[in-house]
Amino acid sequence: MGVELPTTEFSDIPDELAMELEAHAHDGAEGHGAMVQLLDEDGRFRRDSKLAESIKGLSEDSLQGMYRQMAMIRRFDTEATALQRQGQLALWVPLRGQEAAQIGSGAATQAQDYVFPTYREHGVALTRGVDLAELLRLFRGLSNGGWDPRATGFHLYTLVLAAQTPHAVGYAMGMQRDQARAAARGEEAGDPGAVVAYFGDGASSEGDVHESMVFAASFKAPVVFFCQNNQWAISVPAEVQSRIPLFNRAKGYGFPGVRVDGNDVLAVYAVTQWALERARAGKGPVLIEAYTYRQGAHTTADDPTKYRLSDEEQSWLAKDPLARFEKHLRAEGIADEAFFEQVAADGDALATKARADILEFTAPVLADAFANVYAEPHPLVEQELAWHRDYEAGFADAAAEATREGGR
């Protein structure tokens, strides 16, 4: 007989805390609807917030650490954009503006959790200990990954929009089974984990997101859907993807949805931590909509001046996640000038390292690509590899011959 997996009791959805979160949410200034916020646009802390409690546990070191990661990834992003302009990268996908959404949510994950990113989650990658050089290798056209997804708990980037969301749910179902099985055997299962699935407002229209949410709800999978609504899917505004605030969709599936100010790192951290804990405790999925803004181009191949107004860009610059957090840290005396100077210097060092890393990269050879088409031996691949080797060797002979003849 099988093991006991959690059953879905619809009576507990949305649970008390979810309702609390919704009830507590502050009205967004521009009529965006209710939105959880801990830092207002001037970096003032909302002490009245019930969520304020949940970040009390963060030490000054952790707060500094979050700022540091936001600043580091912004600097890295700027450098990578420049490197693309200089022809060193084939493409870059900038994250500028989304640092709070990414660092806040990534920082809330624990080692045993697993993250399924899309392609812009460089900040989340940083929080998971991914070697940022691997991101450069990817966008230089040298690999499709490179970091170890199992060691970092950070999956490969996914370029087919939303395709990773059902993987996230399946992985979460696996975690569920691991726990239940260990319990059935009377073994220590280790701390329960949860999965975070990142996707954009555009991707939210894809059928895979819908199917994922149905599966997640039906099996009460420990997965947090983290939608970064950065307002644009390349040139198409979020309103074209959804006529209602995206977080509201969760209700239709039978689990809580929360909109959080995605430019407020503390609120993102608090909400994600709540959702992850809820998932790890077997209470099922949550949808978080991080309401944020992509300050730059969609990718280095994009020109946002063609589809959006600079007024809009300016208004969002005023909500900049880094500036806001910096004001907070200064006002509360959590970090001083020396700290910010040090972070800036470290950022420059990271940028210098990125530049140096690129020069160190070596290109793979096509012959290596035959190695992992299949996990087990495959005659066609072996045959084509042998042909390819012979063919390439023919050129080597010719080259050697030419050299010899030249020397004569």
Partner 1 sequence: MPTMTIAKAINAGLRAALEQDESVLLMGEDIGTLGGVYRVTEGLKSDFGPDRVVDSPLAESGIIGTSIGLSLRGYRPVAEIQFDGFVFPGFNQITTQLAKMHARSNGQLTVPVTIRIPYGGGIGSVEHHSESPEALFAHTAGLRIVTPSNAHDAYWMTQQAIACADPVIVFEPKRRYWLKGEVDTEDPGASADPFRAHVVREGTDATVVAWGPLVPVALAAAEASAEDGRSVEVIDLRSISPIDFDAIIASVTKTGRLIVAHEAPTFGGMGGEIASRVGEAAFLSLEAPVIRVGGFHMPYPVAKVEEHYLPDIDRILEALDRAFAY
Ligand X SMILES: Cc1ncc(C[n+]2csc(CCOP(=O)(O)OP(=O)(O)O)c2C)c(N)n1
- As annotated, the active-site residues are 294, 298, 307
Q: Does 130 bind partner 1 (CB under 8 A)?
A: no
Residue of the chain from 35, 101, 221, 233 that contacts ligand X (CB under 6 A): 233
Residue of the chain from 97, 106, 123, 200 that contacts ligand X (CB under 6 A): 200
| Cβ partners under 8 Å of residue 35, min gap 6 | 25, 26, 27, 28, 259, 260, 261, 291
Rounded-to-integer distance, Cα 85 and Cα 150, Å: 33
Q: Does 161 bind ligand X (CB under 6 A)?
A: yes
Residue type, 324: R
Q: Does 240 bind ligand X (CB under 6 A)?
A: no
Closer of 37 and 230 to ligand X (Cβ): 230
**What dihedral angle (degrees, nearest 10) is formed by the CA atoms of 92, 98, 103, 106?**
-80
Rounded-to-integer distance, Cα 72 and Cα 125, Å: 12
Closer of 66 and 173 to partner 1 (Cβ): 173
Give the tokens for residue 103: 């660092």
Residue of the chain from 168, 250, 270, 354 that contacts partner 1 (CB under 8 A): 168
Give the tokens for residue 19: 């309702």
Number of residues that bind partner 1 (CB under 8 A): 49
Q: Does 344 bind ligand X (CB under 6 A)?
A: no
Q: Does 158 bind ligand X (CB under 6 A)?
A: no
Residue 175 near residue 192 (C-beta atoms within 8 A) = yes
Closer of 52 and 214 to partner 1 (Cβ): 214
Q: What mask of x and - would describe binding to ligand X in positions 288 to 317, judged by CB under 6 A?
A: ------x---x-------------------
Q: Does 211 bind partner 1 (CB under 8 A)?
A: yes
Rounded-to-integer distance, Cα 47 and Cα 187, Å: 43
Q: Please state the closest distance from residue 33 (CB atom) to partner 1, in A.
A: 29
Q: Does 389 bind partner 1 (CB under 8 A)?
A: no
Q: Please state the closest distance from residue 199 (CB atom) to ligand X, in A.
A: 6
Q: Does 163 bind partner 1 (CB under 8 A)?
A: yes
Chosen from partner 1, ligand X, none, partner binding at 237 (C-beta under 5 to 8 Å by type): none
Q: Does 5 bind partner 1 (CB under 8 A)?
A: yes
Give the tokens for residue 40: 């207002």
Residue of the chain from 71, 107, 108, 175 that contacts partner 1 (CB under 8 A): 175
Q: Please state the closest distance from residue 30 (CB atom) to partner 1, in A.
A: 35
Give the tokens for residue 109: 């994950």
Q: Does 120 bind ligand X (CB under 6 A)?
A: yes
Q: Does 254 bind ligand X (CB under 6 A)?
A: no
Number of Cβ within a 10 Å radius of residue 278:
21
Closer of 179 and 292 to ligand X (Cβ): 292
Q: Does 119 bind partner 1 (CB under 8 A)?
A: no
Q: Does 138 bind ligand X (CB under 6 A)?
A: no
Q: Does 160 bind ligand X (CB under 6 A)?
A: yes
| Residue ranges binding partner 1 (CB under 8 A) | 1-3, 5, 143-146, 148-150, 155-156, 158, 160, 163, 165-175, 177-178, 180-181, 207-208, 211-212, 214-215, 218, 369, 371-376, 378-381
| Residue ranges binding ligand X (CB under 6 A) | 120, 159-161, 200-203, 230, 232-234, 294, 298
